[in-house]
């Protein structure tokens, strides 16, 4: 594995892959010894099928982490199973908060009504961190066009203290995502047709109106914009864009 700090390693990797397209970045990253053990984290949301399909073509045995918050839409749970089967993904790992964590933090299932950050933390961030600790790098679907701190996103970025993030779609436009889905005849999340452009937990997600930002339906009516699974220096990032 490369020597130097995480930032130094990210710089070297970005230079190494700077002229590659998304699929090649993904293909090579999954086999690059300088990245170590790599996993894909997927919400099986509105656009998730793009990276899932790429992984299924390149390396279908890649570990895929799916966070079941136990508050997801039934449509998302059904979609996860259908996509996993269709793409023949062989190592999808469903991760959740433990029963003791639920009993301690949200025994009556109402925490989201008065503390969404705390709810996201124990249902998403803590279980994910527990699993990610087993890997050296993880693949995300983050893209520059999503704005905020993602405007200057590169293929590789440091996630202190010890991991790298891989963003194969960093330079894609929104139209590229839709074109890829159409060209590969990929199944759409059923809630997209009902006006849901960004899909999270059922209590905190709503359809959007024509002309609204695609992520306006997440935590509508609150200042919250990020679920907290993306880190800088070990702390949740809230750049004004949903995860």
Q: Tell me the residue range of the domain where 177 lies.
A: 6-194+228-236
Domain count, the chain: 1
Per-residue model confidence as pLDDT tens digits over 19-67: 899 999 999 889 888 899 999 999 999 999 999 999 999 999 999 999 9
Q: Enter the pTM of the model.
A: 0.87
CATH number, domain of 91, equals 3.40.50.620
Q: How far apart are CA 88 and CA 90, in angstroms?
A: 6
Give pLDDT, residue 38.
96
Interstrand relation of 92-95 and 64-67 (parallel, antiparallel or unpaired): parallel
Give domain status of residue 223, yes or no. no
Which residues participate in catalysis according to the annotation?
A: 227
pLDDT tens digits for 138-190?
999 888 766 566 666 899 999 988 899 999 999 898 899 999 999 999 999 99
Helix pair angle (49-58, 174-183), 10° resolution: 60
């Amino acid at each position: 594995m490369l020597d130097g700090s995480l930032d130094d390693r990210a710089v070297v990797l970005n230079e190494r892959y700077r002229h590659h397209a998304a699929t090649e970045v993904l293909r090579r990253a999954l086999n690059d010894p300088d990245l170590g053990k790599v996993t894909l984290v997927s919400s099986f949301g509105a656009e998730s099928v793009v990276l899932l399909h790429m992984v299924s073509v390149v390396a279908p045995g890649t570990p895929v982490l799916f966070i079941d918050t136990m508050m997801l839409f039934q449509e998302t749970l059904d979609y996860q199973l259908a996509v996993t089967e269709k793409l023949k993904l062989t190592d999808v790992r469903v991760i959740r908060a433990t029963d003791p964590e639920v009993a301690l933090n949200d025994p009556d299932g109402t925490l989201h009504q008065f503390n969404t950050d705390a709810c996201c933390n124990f249902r998403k961030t803590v279980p994910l961190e527990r699993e990610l600790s087993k890997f050296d790098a993880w693949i995300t679907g983050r893209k520059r066009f999503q704005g905020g701190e993602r405007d200057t996103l590169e293929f590789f970025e440091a996630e202190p203290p010890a991991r790298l993030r891989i963003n194969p779609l960093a330079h894609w436009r929104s139209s590229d995502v839709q074109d890829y889905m159409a060209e590969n005849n990929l199944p759409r999340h059923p809630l997209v047709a009902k006006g849901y452009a960004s899909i999270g937990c059922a209590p905190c997600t709503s359809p959007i109106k024509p002309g609204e930002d695609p992520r306006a339906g997440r935590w509508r009516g609150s200042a919250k914009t990020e679920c907290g699974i993306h880190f800088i220096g070990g702390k949740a990032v809230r750049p004004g864009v949903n995860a």
